Amino acid sequence: MAVTTEKYEVVIGLEIHTQLLTKTKAFSTDLASYGSMPNTNISVVNLGHPGTLPRHNKEAVNMALKVGLACGCDTTNYCLYARKNYFYADLPKGYQITQDKTPLCTNGSIRIQTEDGNVKDILLTRIHLEEDSGKSIHDLDMYHSLIDYNRAGTTLIEIVTEPVIKTGEEAGLFVSEVRKLVRYLDVCDGNMEEGSLRCDANISVMLKGSDTFGTKVEVKNMNSISNVRKAIEYETARQIKIIEAGEEVVQETRSFDAVNGETFSMRVKEVATDYRYFPEPDLPPLVVDEAWIDSIRASMPKLPEELYQEFTTTFGLSDYDARVITENKEVAAYYEDILRHTNNYKAAANYLMGAVKGYLNKNAIELSDFALKPLQIAEIIRLVDDGVISNAVGEQTLFPALVENPDKSAKQLAEELNVIQNSDDDFILDLVAQALEAYPEKVEEYKQGKKGLLGLFMGEVMKRSGGKADPKLATQKLREALGD
C-alpha cells in the first residue's frame, strides 16, 4: 500500500494474555492441563452453577508475582477482584473474574534491543490476574459451533503496556522478550500458535509532533510474532489512508487474516461501562504481604538480562554470542554446565553455537533430547587444548562420532578412532626427514631465503602422519632440520 508515512507518527500499546502453567484453574481445583479430551476438565464452579464459590489459587499469584518482579513492577498488597460482565457462549458464568481497579502489579518495564543495537525500555501499565474463557470451535462442524469448556477458568495474566511502542518491529521484539521471560520463569510455555500467549495490539496514528493521540483500533488474532509485525504494518497503512482521504478512523476491534495479510472489522469496540465492572463478591480480598513478595524474590531464577551481563563480562563473550546463548533458557543452562568443566569460554560457545546447534537443526531435535552431556563437550575441548587432538579432528571427527557413541568417553573414542596427535620425537623426526627428502630442490630454495616453503614441508609432514602429527612440534623440528 503506497501511503505517505513521513507525516505521521504511530502509537501502539500491547495487551498480552499469557496462560500460566498452574496445575489447577485460577479459582477452582479443576485441572488446567492442555490437550485433554474436550469438556473433561470442568466442574460446577467453572460452569457457573448457582451456589458454587470460587477460591484463590496461591500458585497463580506466585507465578504472576514472578513476572511482575522480573519486570521491576510495583506490587499491590490488597487486591479486590472484579467481575467483567458480558454474554458469550464460551463464558458459562456470564462474567469473567479479573482485576480492575487493583491490578496485582503496576509500572515496571521490559527492555528490547533493535537490530541496530538500540535499547528501549517499554513501560508497562499493569499486570493483572484473571481467568480465561472457554473455546468456541467454528470449523469442525458445518452446521454448529462447538464449545470446549476445558479452558474456562484457567489462569491468565494480562500484561498491558503504555502507548509507547512506535513500530511493528518494536512490537514484535517486545512480544518475543515477553515470551523469553515467561519461559525463563517457567510460568508459561509461550506457545503463540496454541494460544498460550496471545497478543492484542492497539494502534493509532497522529500527525507527527501532535500531543493528541488518534482514535485507536484494537487488532486481535495474531498467532505469531511475524504476524504481529505484519498486522501492525497493515493497520498503520490502512489508518493513514483513511486520514489522508479526509475520513475518520472508527474505534473498533479488528481481526488479522494471516492468509491475506489484512485486518477486518469484528465489532465496534465496547467501552468499559459496557462490562458493568463491579467487585467480585464471592472472593475475599487477596492480601499479598512483604514476606510473600520476599519469598518469591528469593525463588527467582537468573534472568536472561543477568546472564547476558555475566556472559559478556565474566566470560568475555561477544554481544552476539551472548544474545544467541541467552535466547533460550536450556541453551544458557547447558552453556553454564559446560563451563563447570572447562575455562575455555569461547570454545564452549563455539561448540554450542556451531557443532551442537548444527546437529540439532539437522536432526530437528531439541537440546533436551541431545545425547551428549555438557561434560562430554568440555572433554573434547580439553583434548584440543591439551594438544591431544587437533581442532579440526575435534569438531569434524570426534564430535560426530561421540554423538553416535555417547556412552564412551571422548578420550577413549579418540584412541579408538586413531586420531590422537603424535608428539613422539622420533616419529616426528622421521616424518620431517621423509618430507625434506621428497623435495631436495625446495630445501635448497628455502635455505636461500624462500621461507614461505615451510608450509609445503608442513603439509607433507601432516599428510604422511595421517593428520596425527602435533603441528607445533612438527614446525619446530622442521625448522631445526632446515638449519633455522
User: Which stretches of the chain bind ligand ADP, using CB under 6 A?
Assistant: 11-15, 160-163, 202-204, 213, 216, 272
Which CB atom, from 13 or from 68, has the smaller least distance to ligand ADP?
13
- Nearest alpha carbon to residue 243 among 40, 478, 48, 8: 8
Smallest gap from Cβ 261 to ligand ADP, in A, equals 21
Burial category of 404 from C-beta neighbours within 10 Å (exposed 0-12, middle 13-18, buried 19 and up): exposed
Name the residue nearer to ligand ADP (CB basis): 12 or 402: 12
Across the strands, what pairs with 267?
253
Report, in Å, the least distance between residue 82 CB and ligand ADP: 14
Residue with the closest Cβ to ligand ADP? 13
Block residue for cell numbers 495474531: 222
3-state secondary structure of 13: strand
- Are 8 and 37 in contact by the 8 Å Cβ rule? The answer is no
107: DSSP letter = S
Residue 437 per-residue DSSP state: H
CB closer to ligand ADP out of 22 and 239: 239
423 and 470 in contact (C-beta within 8 Å)? yes
Q: How far is it, in rounded angstroms, from Cα 401 to Cα 399?
A: 5
| Shortest spacing between CB 170 and ligand ADP, in angstroms | 13
Cβ distance to ligand ADP smaller for residue 216 or 477: 216
Handedness of CA 201, 153, 107, 197 (dihedral sign): negative
Instruction: Quote the CA–CA distance of 202 and 232 in Å, as a whole number.
Output: 9
Grid coordinates of 246:
479526509
Which CB sits closer to ligand ADP, 216 or 238?
Answer: 216
- In the complex, least distance from residue 171 CB atom to ligand ADP, rounded to whole angstroms: 11
d(CA 410, CA 390) in angstroms, rounded, equals 13
Identify whether the C-beta of residue 371 lies closer than 8 Å to the C-beta of residue 403.
yes
* CA 197, chain centre distance (Å): 12
Shortest spacing between CB 277 and ligand ADP, in angstroms: 11
Angle (CA) 274-280-285 rounded to 5° is 140
Question: Closest distance between ligand ADP and the C-beta of residue 313, in Å?
Answer: 35
Please report how close the Cβ of residue 156 comes to ligand ADP at its closest, in angstroms. Answer: 15
Beta carbon nearer to ligand ADP, 191 or 253:
253
Task: Indicate the residue among 41 and 96 with the shorter CB distance to ligand ADP.
Answer: 96
Minimal distance in Å, beta carbon 224 to ligand ADP?
20
The nearest distance, CB 10 to ligand ADP, in angstroms, is 8
Instruction: Pick between residue 11 and residue 384 the one whose CB is nearest to ligand ADP.
Output: 11
**Which is nearer to ligand ADP, 121 or 386 (by Cβ)?**
121
Tell me which amino acid residue 95 is.
Y
Q: What angle do CA 289, 293, 297 make, to 5 degrees?
A: 165
Closer Cβ to ligand ADP, 270 or 282, answer by number: 270
Question: Of the two residues 203 and 469, which places its CB atom closer to ligand ADP in the complex?
Answer: 203
Measured in whole angstroms, the distance separating CA 182 from the mean position of its chain's CA atoms is 9
Give the nearest distance from C-beta 344 to ligand ADP in angstroms.
46
Nearest distance, CB of residue 25 and ligand ADP, angstroms: 24
Toward ligand ADP, which CB reaches closer, 203 or 431? 203
* Nearer of residues 132 and 200 to ligand ADP, judged by Cβ: 200
Q: 441: part of which helix (H) or strand (E)? A: helix 440-447
Q: What is the 3-state secondary structure (H, E, C) of 269-334?
A: CCCHHHHCCEECCCCCCEECCHHHHHHHHHCCCCCHHHHHHHHHHCCCCCHHHHHHHHCCHHHHHH
State the minimum distance, in angstroms, from the CB of residue 217 to ligand ADP.
8
The β-bridge partners of 81 are 99
Q: How far apart are CA 82 and CA 186, in angstroms?
A: 27
The side-by-side arrangement of strands in the sheet containing 81-85 is: 95-99, 81-85, 278-279
Q: Which residues contact 445 (CB under 8 A, 6 or more apart)?
A: 453
Kindly state the smallest distance separating residue 160's Cβ from ligand ADP, in Å. 5
b/e per residue, 200-216, with b = 16+ CB within 10 A?
A: bbbbbbbeeeeeeebbb
